[in-house]
Structures are given as C-alpha cells and as structure tokens.
Amino acid sequence: MPDHRSGTPTPARRTSAARQWLWIGSAAVVVVAVVAAVALWLPTRATGPDGRHIVERRTPAEVFPGGLARQPSSDNQPGRFAESARAEGQDRTADRLAEIADQPIATWLTNPSVTATRATVHRVVANARTQDKTPVFVLYAVPDRDCGSYSKGGTTRSEYVPWVRSAVRAMAGSHAVVLVEPDAIAQIQNCERLSDSRLPLLRKAVDALTGHGLTVYLDGGNENRVPVDTMARWLRQAGIDRTQGFFTNVSNFYRVDQERTYADHLADAVGGDPHFVIDVSRNGQGWKGTWCNPSGAGLGQDPHVAAGSSRLDALLWVKTPGLSDGTCNGGPAAGQWWESYALALVANRRD
C-alpha cells in the first residue's frame, strides 16, 4: 500500500511497477521486431504512372543473393543422362552432356499433384540452401495449358490457385525466383478462348505469391509474338505492378540483343520501370525459322546474374536444353529427353 502521508509507494508497489514497465518494454521490443520482420516480407510501394501503386523493384544482386543455384542431381535430367552415358563407357557423350548439366537450370513445376509439387520444391530449396544460392522455379500448370497444343495439360480451374498457394508455402522464406506460366499471356493472342479467364486467374496467382519473400516475373512473350502495347496492357491486368517484372524468350531462340531491345520497349509501355530476365538456353545461333525443335540451334551464353546497370536482372537457362518442344521436326513428345538434339545444341553452342 502507498504511504498516504508522503505519497511514496511501498517497496512492494515499486517492485510491481518495475515489473509492469519491464513487461511493457519487452512487449514493445517484440512489436518492433514483428513489424520489422513483416516489413521484410512486404514489398515497398511507390506511386507510378496514372497513380498506380507499384512495388519497388530490386537490384539483381538483391533478387539473386549468392547467384544462381544448380539443381539437385535428382532433378537434373541432363546430368542423369550424362551419368548413364559414362556408366556405359560413352565418355565423349557424357562430357558433352555435362556442358548442359553443369549449368544452373530452372526447375519446372508441371505436376498438378500438390504433394509431388511440394516435394520437388522442398528438395530444390534445400539443395540451393547448401550452395547459398538462389533457386529458380517455373510454374507451368495453368488450366488449358498451351491451349491444347504440344504441352497441353495443367490443373483444373478450381485447382489452380490452391496449387499455387501450396507451392508458395513450400517456397516461403527461400528467396526463390518464380517465373509464372510461360506462354500464358502471350498465347491469348492466338487462343481466343483464353481472353476472358486467363488474366484474372494469373492475377490471383500473383496475389498468392505476394508477401512471402519470393521474386516474381510474369510472361512477357518475345519480340515476335504480341504487339508491345497489347502485351503491356495484359501484363498490367495480370498484376505486374506487384511483381519484379517479366521474362522473355522462354523456350525460344531470339538473340539477347534483340530481346533486350524488345524488353526495354515493353517495360516503357508497361510503365513503372519493371525489370526482366531472358531465357538464353538455346539462342546461341539465333532464330532458325521456327520455335519448335529447329535444326541448327545452339546453346546460348552461360546463365548469369546481370551487373545491375539496366533493367535486365539475369540471363537464365529456363528451358532445359535437350528437352523436346513437341512432336515436330522429328522430336518426341513435349518435355521428353531428346539426346541427339541435346548433343547438337552443344555442338552449335555460342562461342
């Protein structure tokens, strides 16, 4: 009890008050820590053109801490075939395939199974962590994938966003780079039935990916697919303002200088300074007249993170060299290993 004559608290009351202030101070520290942690997960926003709220785009070094991770051996298809060739005494073939296998290659998530997808993500993330490098994933399970063409498949409409959310939970905290659905936007140009549903669905995917420490890029097509203004409008509708930017040339063959020019024009048209990455896995000989297993194609530059002096964040190997584009020009089914084509890509690689 306080001494009413002097107004001085008793020792017991002083101890209680000290404890109360200690508890308040500790709580304040926890609140500050939580706020700081949340701030790390939430992108900083800046006001862009037309009053749009646009995330603050990061530098390549921030997007790809440590550089590009290599795949675990279980997911590295060229590596498995190189090992088989060596076991059979085909050392020359093994050495040539190793030129593909030894590079950082993106991991495609194509299986509609939530369980299988999460297992792949956990495996790749754990392997990247041992390297202190950044894993790159490709989401490729959108409903009506490839508009029913060579790579048809994907999830159902009701399954897609839950599938994305499940993959995101497995990736959270990994600082992974995620390329969302190659062709999914560009293909609207020649697949009219996608025009109403595809962009809202991709926007929901962006919603699911946002706020988990991941870096997201959307489909930017390539220089010879969709008019720049149209692609820019579609990218805005798909939610690019909440991503790092877009990717170009995935599974295609256009040269880097051409794609950079196109990507810069597209970025200007989008507004808000989006960044981009370019697939250079098979563009060493440039465009060869078709996107589907062209003869004479070669490996491009080794994948690497850009210096950060422009909007180009990285040159990546997104398409796995040696996997078929489809049953065209003598190829097996899309996504199947085609060893003779892989060896030709090595033989024709960019010097």
For the purposes of burial, counting CB atoms within 10 Å of the CB of 11, is it exposed (0-12), middle (13-18) or buried (19 or more)?
exposed
For residue 277, give the nearest of 238, 319, 236 by alpha carbon.
319
Active site amino acids: 146, 183, 325
Angstrom distance (rounded) from CA 105 to CA 121? 14
Q: Which parts of the chain have pLDDT scores under 50?
A: 1-42
Is 49 part of any domain? no
Q: Based on the domain organization, do 135 and 12 belong to the same domain?
A: no
Residue 71 and residue 137 in contact, taking contact as beta carbons nearer than 8 Å: no
Looking at the structure of the chain, the number of domains it has is 2
Domain with 19 in it:
1-41
Q: Can you tell me whether residue 57 is helix, strand or coil?
A: coil
Give residue 50's pLDDT: 75
CATH of the domain at 260: 3.20.20.40
For residue 316, give the nearest of 228, 210, 245 by alpha carbon.
245
Torsion angle, alpha carbons of 58, 64, 66, 68, to 10: -160
Structure tokens at 348: 């024709």
Q: Based on the domain organization, do 21 and 149 belong to the same domain?
A: no
Give residue 7's pLDDT: 43
Global confidence as pTM = 0.87
Q: Based on the domain organization, do 21 and 105 belong to the same domain?
A: no
Q: Based on the domain organization, do 71 and 34 belong to the same domain?
A: no
Query: Order of strands, edge to edge, in the sheet holding 304-305?
Result: 107-109, 136-139, 177-180, 215-219, 245-248, 275-279, 312-316, 304-305
Angstrom distance (rounded) from CA 73 to CA 276? 28
Q: Based on the domain organization, do 65 and 30 belong to the same domain?
A: no
Angstrom distance (rounded) from CA 247 to CA 220? 5
Q: Based on the domain organization, do 181 and 302 belong to the same domain?
A: yes
Q: Based on the domain organization, do 84 and 225 belong to the same domain?
A: yes
Give residue 194's pLDDT: 95
For the purposes of burial, counting CB atoms within 10 Å of the CB of 69, is it exposed (0-12), middle (13-18) or buried (19 or more)?
buried
Give residue 351's pLDDT: 66
Question: Tell me, what DSSP letter sits at residue 68?
Answer: B
Give residue 44's pLDDT: 53
Q: Based on the domain organization, do 177 and 266 belong to the same domain?
A: yes
Q: Based on the domain organization, do 6 and 154 belong to the same domain?
A: no
Is 332 part of any domain? yes
